[in-house]
Amino acid sequence: MQLDLKLTGCRALTMDPARPAAHTIGIWQGRIAGLDEQVEGLPAAETVDLGGAVVLPGFIDAHTHLAWNGRRTIDVTGLATVSGVLDRLAGAPGTGWIEASGYDPRIMDRPLTATDLDGISGGRPVYVADLSGHACVVNSVVLRQLPGITSDGWLTENEQLAARTLRLPYSLDEIVAELRTSAGQVLAEGVTTCAEAGIGAGLIASSPLEAAAYQRARLPIRVQLMVSAYVLHDVAADPADGIPRAIDLGLHTGFGDDMLSLGAMKLWTDGGMIARTAALTEPYAGTDNSGQLAESEEFMRAAILDGHRAGWQLAIHAIGDRAIDFTLDAVAEAQRQRPRADARHRIEHCGLVRPDQLGRIAELGMIPVVQPTFLHAYGDDYSEIMGPRRAPWMYRGRSFLDHGITVAGSSDRPVADGAPLRAIEFMVRRRSSGGRAVGPDEAVTVEEAIRAYTLGGAYACRKEDVLGSLTPGKLADLVVLGEDPRTSDAIADIPVLATMVGGNLVPQRSG
């Protein structure tokens, strides 16, 4: 047997407890053929000496938005004055919609309004998305097309969705370009697999043909597509199947191949903390606002029951503790009605978890898919709006692990920085970008944080048989780093030297 490639001089942290370290990795036909003495005696078509570089399994971003992230909109991130935002938007090229993103109402001198935007629109529709994707500001041209909505321009959740829908669809060529931009960006940060969090309909959908764009794009990373629960519809299946609603052809989680597959069914049960729409059991500190559920409980319960019945893994967006209560109740009900072993339903974000909810998450075998970089970027603000009693409950780490819960790491890019090494650093240190300690008791070890971005992500995507560790037989996906995160005092700054997807070693720019 001749290997395709032999990597020597590695300091590999395999994440496989059966063989945690390795210095030589043999690759054949896109898979890991063996480690160390298993392959040292074998010839190889090519041998690359990594010169003592650190090698980890490729990072898995278990919840991201590649198309949205790659969208070419006018960036108003960090602008804190209405005049600053208007200056940036004025004279936007093109003729159709003027689209901007990164608006942050929390830092503005005063709220941006439709009237402000009318001044620079030249009669074109204007859509300024906030950082979280849960709110926007639009101009009067857009508002006029939304009869029944009374607003000065600021729209959240379903009203925002109505405005967004006016802009749809994007063309396949536009989406393909967005995906390719994002794929290059994530690879440079060591990410080799992404789960796209909700295509087909809902808040961040681009086109009813979205899946075709992923197929056409032939990206250099592996992608799993979560499908929006809004596309569930009645099907006339044999009653013996017990599946009243499904998507066309009965497709569900697991369909596809190692490069592109269907993941979970995505459902939104509340909003977000940036827009103050995450549903809480007690109000945001100093207000009487407790956020809101995304839809009627009846609608959301039916989606969970029917998605579960149709064989889907569920990925349920729930940030506030009230949304998490609802999610746990509905999933427990689904399991009572139709017990499914290893259904492995996920809670996307799982942002504010009361102590009494930890045991229930464990009992139901649910997987929190967390975004540690939210707290790096927004931890100061979130700590204020949760208040001192609840702040330590946000985006937990240690408590989940102590309850035997598998944690998956993710970015929710472009809502926050997508680099896994920054997230890993946060999980270990629990320090916001402003230097504030955020839930320091939830700190985990470096290995545990890496696990969330490798094996944890693979488990959340039901791909742990082929991804997540450097184990013979698994797919040859890895990242080569300039320094060992276990001994680094600046994990986020460690250079990514190269990535490998399916045995294809690609040097990265940051190296």
Compute CA distances 145 → 111, 219, 460, whole Å: 22, 37, 40
Closest Cα to residue 79, out of 91, 69, 89? Answer: 89
DSSP 483-507: S-TTT-S-GGG--EEEEEETTEEEE
Supply the minimum distance, in Å, between the C-beta of residue 318 and Zn ion: 12
CA atoms of 457 and 406, how far apart (whole Å): 9
Closer CB to Zn ion, 197 or 219, in the complex: 197
**Interface segment toward Zn ion; rule CB under 5 A; list 173-181, 409-417, 438-446, 460-468:** 409-417
CA atoms of 202 and 165, how far apart (whole Å): 9
**Interface segment toward Zn ion; rule CB under 5 A; list 195-203, 353-361, 383-391, 478-486:** 195-203
Supply the minimum distance, in Å, between the C-beta of residue 357 and Zn ion: 21
Supply the minimum distance, in Å, between the C-beta of residue 55 and Zn ion: 30
**Interface segment toward Zn ion; rule CB under 5 A; list 168-176, 385-393, 410-418, 498-506:** 410-418
Closer CB to Zn ion, 168 or 332, in the complex: 168
Q: How many residues sit in the footprint of Zn ion (CB under 5 A)?
A: 2
Supply the minimum distance, in Å, between the C-beta of residue 44 and Zn ion: 41
**Interface segment toward Zn ion; rule CB under 5 A; list 194-202, 285-293, 326-334, 378-386:** 194-202
Supply the minimum distance, in Å, between the C-beta of residue 69 and Zn ion: 10
**Interface segment toward Zn ion; rule CB under 5 A; list 173-181, 222-230, 408-416, 465-473:** 408-416
Binding mask 355-394 for Zn ion (x = CB under 5 A): ----------------------------------------
Beta bridge partners of 506: 499
Supply the minimum distance, in Å, between the C-beta of residue 105 and Zn ion: 19
CA atoms of 42 and 44, how far apart (whole Å): 6
Supply the minimum distance, in Å, between the C-beta of residue 200 and Zn ion: 14
* Binding-site member from 412, 442, 464, 477 for Zn ion (CB under 5 A): 412
Supply the minimum distance, in Å, between the C-beta of residue 271 and Zn ion: 11
Closest Cα to residue 104, out of 94, 112, 95, 114? Answer: 112
Within residues 137-166, the interface with Zn ion by CB under 5 A covers none
Closer CB to Zn ion, 71 or 245, in the complex: 71
Beta bridge partners of 449: none
Q: Is 66 in the site for Zn ion (CB under 5 A)?
A: no
**Interface segment toward Zn ion; rule CB under 5 A; list 94-102, 119-127, 189-197, 394-402:** 189-197
CA atoms of 259 and 262, how far apart (whole Å): 10
Closest Cα to residue 306, out of 231, 383, 396? Answer: 231
Torsion 466-469-471-475 (CA) sign: positive
Percentages helix, strand, coil for the chain (3-state, rounded to 5) are 35, 25, 40
Name residue, tokens 């920085």. Answer: 417
Closer CB to Zn ion, 245 or 346, in the complex: 346
Q: Is 197 in the site for Zn ion (CB under 5 A)?
A: yes
CA atoms of 423 and 417, how far apart (whole Å): 9
Supply the minimum distance, in Å, between the C-beta of residue 415 and Zn ion: 6
Closest Cα to residue 409, out of 379, 442, 360, 368? Answer: 368
CA atoms of 201 and 210, how far apart (whole Å): 9
Supply the minimum distance, in Å, between the C-beta of residue 64 and Zn ion: 7
Residue 365 Ramachandran class (φ > 0 left, ψ -120 to 50 alpha, else beta): left
Q: Is 176 in the site for Zn ion (CB under 5 A)?
A: no
Torsion 180-186-190-191 (CA) sign: negative
CA atoms of 116 and 9, how far apart (whole Å): 60
- Give the pair of three-digit tokens for residue 492: 């986020």
The helix/strand/coil state of 65 is coil
Footprint of Zn ion on this chain (CB under 5 A)? Answer: 197, 412
